[in-house]
Structures are given as C-alpha cells and as structure tokens.
Structure 1
C-alpha cells in the first residue's frame, strides 16, 4: 500500500472531474459531502437496463467513472469546496489482466478481488491510497509492489504532483 498526498488540488480536481484521468476505472463506491451527504454506489442496477443494454455491458457489474463523473461534477462544482469526498476506484478487468501480463506476479487473476485507488479529500488535502483485495490468502507481496509502483507512475504520467506519505 502506498499513500500519496496531492500537491496541486485544483489541478487534480480538474483531471478527475473534467478530464478523463479515471474514466476507465470502475467506481466501486463514492461519497460526497456538501450541504448533505450523497452516496454513489458503483454497482450497476440490473432492473434499470433492458436485455439489449445489459448484454452490451458484457457482464460488467460496476459502472465506469466516465458514466458517473458528470453527476459527481454537478455535486462538487460551485463556489464552495465540498466538506469531504471519497471515491474508491477499481482497476478494470482488462487492465488487471494487462498488469498481470506485464509483471508476471505469482498470483492468478481469479485470486484477485480488485486493485484499488482510494481518493479522499478532507481538510483541504487530497490523499490517494493504493490497495488490493484478494479472494484467497496470498503470502507473496510482488503484486502489491507492482500496483503501488503503477499508481505512482500513473499520477506522474497524468502530471499530478504527489508526495509519498
């Protein structure tokens, strides 16, 4: 697990809310607190979709950030900053397979519950924490190190200055 403190909050907020930095990540969970608290559950609601729409989702259970971002933007934008927010982003299945193919850690795809980035804004600070959920007990920490390095590299590639905490 790595913790990153975002240096330029305004730049990060623009990348997250109006850019496409997290668009290909699943949103696992979200909370935004302004004048009240809003909860954004990331799981898709099957009864909402007709059979054709559901089939087009190809078995996906979670929404993409790109599908939720406009709603989050509406809740956060304005003259006042939110009191706090928290988003739990999960690496997509395709990108999880890519990461496994790139680094070859001794872990099978079915052993992984998810690779996460927890983004939290509170007290005028944005903190990103990486994390992994496993479906089984895993002693080897190779994947965790690879994921931590990938998260740091991802922020650098998107020109988001961070300090490790």
Structure 2
C-alpha cells in the first residue's frame, strides 16, 4: 500500500467538499477535530428505513450523502485541527478492478484521508476476508488511486 501527500491542500479540499469528484466513494467513518470532536459512523442503520423500499443499496453511506454534513462542520474561518476520513470504493467498482479470483477474498479497497498540521495524506489499504499469497490487489488499488487523482488534476507526492 502507498502513502501520498497532496501538494495543494486548498485545491484538494475544494474537490473533496465542493465538487462531485469523490462522490463515487463510500464513507466508512469520519473524525473531525474542530472546536469539538465529531465522529461519523458511515455504516447505514437499516432499521431506520423499516420496510421502505428506499433502503440504501450499500452497507456504507455514499460520500455524496454525508459530504454536506462534513462541509458544514469544516467550513468557517478557522482551519480544523485535524480530520480523518476512511473511504472505500463501492462493491461494483471493486469488482471491476479486481480479477475474479480476488473478488471474494478482498472485501474492500479503502483509503484513509488525513489532514493534520496543514498537510493532507492519503494512504491506501484493503480489507481481506481470507488469506491469499496473491498480493496483486495492492498494486491494482494503488495504481487506480494514482490514476484517479491524476485524472481529476490533483497533484501528489509519493511518500
């Protein structure tokens, strides 16, 4: 897995909070340290929806649904002390990226986005549901994340 340091924090924050650039991802969790500390669990409470046919399609909330909440917490004249978002690709995208033999073993492809002391880092990772000697999923995910950032014009430095 890789760690990437974002070169332009302002541009990245605009892409994250004021555009649709990251809307394809799901939010597993968020922790924001501003005047108070806020923690958001991105796991969907299915009981909330009852028998409604409008139940979300994934176990995790879409970033597009929680982005306005995070934006409202972050915006203001003071810079956050820190924040951390754990995000992952939606299952259909994961299945597009991985070969058939890895789809069941790799349960999610994630990235951890951290802001602290004015710097943003992205660290890629994966959750596995079993053991495999095939580590190609790491390179596939790392390469995808770099291509994704390149495609939306976000510059970074590999740490």
TM-score (norm 2): 0.95
Task: Please give the alpha-carbon distance, in whole angstroms, between the structure 2 residues aligned to 1:133 and 1:21.
Answer: 24
Counterpart for residue 124 of structure 2:
130
Shift of 1:106: 4.3
Secondary structure of 1:90 counterpart? strand
SS in structure 1 at match of 2:150 = helix
Matched with 2:38 is: 38
Q: Which residue of 2 aligns with 1:141?
A: 135
Alignment correspondent of 1:49: 49
Instruction: Name the residue aligned to 1:153.
Output: 147
Q: Distance in 2 between matches of 1:12 and 1:138?
A: 35
Aligned residues: 159
Partner residue, 1:95? 93
SS class of match (1:149): helix
Structure 1: segments with no counterpart, 5+ residues: none
CA distance in 1, matches of 2:92, 2:62: 13
Q: Contact between 1:44 and 1:62, CA under 8 Å: does it hold in 2?
A: yes
